[in-house]
Structures are given as C-alpha cells and as structure tokens.
C-alpha cells in the first residue's frame, strides 16, 4: 500500500507563489505514483491536519523564510514524521548567507569577498570600505532570502538608493560582483547528479530570470567545460553539501570566471516547477520528474 504524503506549501515568504506551484506539481506526480496526498499550509491548522491525515512522510515544498531556514524543520521535528530535504541545522546554516560563506572560506571553497552592512556606516565610510575590500560594482542582497529576492547589482550612483530600499532587513550583505558564466550543480543524496549553465538575457539570473517564462534564459546542458573542470565544480558542490550537513536534494550556484569557480550559495530546497533546474538536470540524466519526487520521499523515510 502506497504511503500518505502531506505536502507543505504556500507559507508567508516572498516566494509563496513559487511554493504553491512546487506543491501542486509535486502532488500531481505523487498521485500518478498512487500516493494518498494532502496539501497543507504551514499555519495554525498544520497540527490538526497532521493528526487527522496521519501522513507517513511530509514533503516540504516551502521556499524562503520560515520554510527552508530551520524554522518549519524545528516544528516538524516535534511530530517525529520523516520530512524531505535538510534538517534544522543544515537548513539554518545554508539560508544564512553570512554563516554559510564563512564555512566555505574556512574549508577553502572560493566564494566572492563580502562584508555585512547594518546601516550604521556613513556614506564615506561605506564607499571607502567597498573600494578597499571589493571595488564597484557590488552585489547587495538580504542575508536570508532565496530565489534572488531583492538582489541588486549596484554601482556608486545607485547603491545608497538600493540600501534604503532594503532597510526593513536591518542587515544586508555587500558582496564582490563576479562576472562570468552561471553554473548550477545538483546533488542528490551523496551523489553528484549533474550541472547546467544559464545564459540569462537579464543582468544576472535574478527572480524574473528564474520564474518568468518570458525572461528567455538559455539553459545549456551538457555544460561546455573540460572533464577536469566539470569534475572540479561538481566535487566542490558535493563538499559544500557535506560540510553544511545537507540531506536530500540541493543545488549549488557558481560563477565561473578567470578559470575559477566561485560558490555563491547552496540551496537546500531547490524549486520543483516546470522552470526548475534540478528536475531538468535529473531528466538529462534519465531520471523523470516522477521518479525524482519518488526518490525524495524514499530518502526522507530512510533518514537516521
């Protein structure tokens, strides 16, 4: 008899719509495989839904804050029901760009130089620090958002305007801008699943490039790299996955510039929509979307 799967989707983050899309597409595939499905929001009814439905596994289709930062994982641990993707600590570390980057640096993984900014600098102090440590242009981003939400490439003219836009975050990251090729690597358990290159028409692979079908981002698979280079970037992604303690499926985002791979971040809950990269990489490797989701359910169930 097939298992009951409760799918968590929606939520309150800025990625709510993406999460709903992921949840619906996962539900559709699991139904094809004969699973009994219930979709639930992570709200006050969650405990009631879990008690009534009695799922064997919870598929976490949430994205962004409260969904992939250790918050919902902490709640799920109480129910002692297996859930997909990474656990509390790994989710929390991966979502916090400052902590994860410090871990990359400690483990000799190349990542763009950065510092955090908490709105207590004068304009002169800020510009001095950027010119000394990073140079313009720079990337400004929140410390704990996904899907490139509120990520901006800034020069001297627009950085103050951009920082003022992001004041609600109280603290943001200012990072060295690395030009070059966008390479994404998928890890499945402890296996290097594969890589894909993106050529966005926009300045970089931002939220619009990821989710707007009119953005016309070009997906290149197989990636045109030498065997040695491809092996290197995939090994780096697997190392990052293990260093942070991730489980299930992850996707690591790299820039390839001047013969170096720069790890930007690791995503513990990559999207599972028609435009998502992990299903595309899996399909190229002969793993259908249905089988990928099935693997994730089984992987959740076998976690120690």
Any catalytic annotation for residue 251?
yes
SS3 236: helix
Any catalytic annotation for residue 211?
yes
Q: Rounded to an integer, what distance in angstroms lies between the CA atom of residue 154 and that of residue 144?
A: 19
Among the listed residues 15, 68, 69, 182, the single catalytic one is 15
Phi, psi at residue 188, to the nearest 5°?
-125, 100
Please, which residues bridge with residue 60 across strands? 8
Quick one: angle between helices 289-301 and 16-32, nearest 10? 90
Q: What is the DSSP string of 155-204?
A: -TTTHHHHHHHTGGGS-EEEEE---SEEEEEEEETTEEEEEEEEE-SSSS
Any catalytic annotation for residue 197?
no
Among the listed residues 35, 169, 211, 262, the single catalytic one is 211
How do the residues of the chain divide into helix, strand and coil, expressed in percent and rounded to 5? 40, 25, 40
Any catalytic annotation for residue 239?
no
Among the listed residues 49, 251, 262, 280, the single catalytic one is 251
Number of CB atoms found within 10 A of residue 69's CB = 24
Any catalytic annotation for residue 253?
yes
Among the listed residues 60, 100, 144, 267, the single catalytic one is 267
Among the listed residues 21, 68, 197, 253, the single catalytic one is 253
Among the listed residues 70, 87, 271, 280, the single catalytic one is 271
Which residues are the active-site residues?
15, 147, 211, 251, 253, 265, 267, 271
């Amino acid at each position: 008899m097939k298992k009951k799967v409760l799918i968590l989707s929606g939520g309150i983050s800025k990625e709510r719509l993406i999460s709903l899309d992921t949840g619906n597409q996962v539900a559709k595939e699991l139904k094809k495989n004969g699973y009994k499905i219930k979709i639930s929001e992570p709200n006050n009814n969650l405990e009631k839904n879990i008690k009534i439905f009695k799922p064997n596994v919870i598929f976490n289709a949430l994205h962004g804050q409260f969904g992939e930062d250790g918050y919902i994982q902490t709640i799920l641990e109480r129910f002692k029901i297996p859930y997909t993707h990474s656990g509390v600590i790994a989710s929390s570390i991966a979502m916090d760009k400052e902590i994860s980057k410090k871990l990359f640096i400690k483990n000799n993984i190349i990542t763009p130089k950065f510092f955090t900014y908490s709105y207590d600098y004068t304009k002169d102090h800020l510009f001095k620090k950027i010119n000394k440590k990073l140079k313009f242009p720079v990337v400004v981003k929140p410390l704990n958002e996904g899907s490139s939400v509120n990520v901006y490439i800034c020069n001297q003219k627009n950085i103050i305007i951009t920082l003022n836009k992001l004041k609600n975050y109280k603290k943001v990251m200012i990072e060295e801008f690395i030009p070059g090729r966008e390479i994404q690597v998928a890890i499945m358990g402890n296996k290097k699943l594969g890589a894909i290159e993106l050529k966005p028409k926009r300045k970089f692979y931002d939220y619009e490039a990821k989710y707007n079908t009119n953005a016309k981002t070009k997906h290149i698979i197989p990636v045109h790299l030498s065997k040695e280079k491809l092996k290197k970037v995939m090994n780096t992604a697997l190392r990052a996955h293990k260093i942070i303690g991730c489980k299930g499926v992850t996707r690591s985002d790299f820039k390839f510039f001047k013969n170096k791979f720069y790890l930007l971040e690791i995503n513990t809950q990559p999207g599972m929509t028609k435009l998502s990269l992990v299903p595309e990489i899996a399909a190229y490797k002969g793993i259908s979307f249905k089988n990928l989701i099935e693997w994730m359910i089984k992987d959740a169930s076998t976690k120690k």
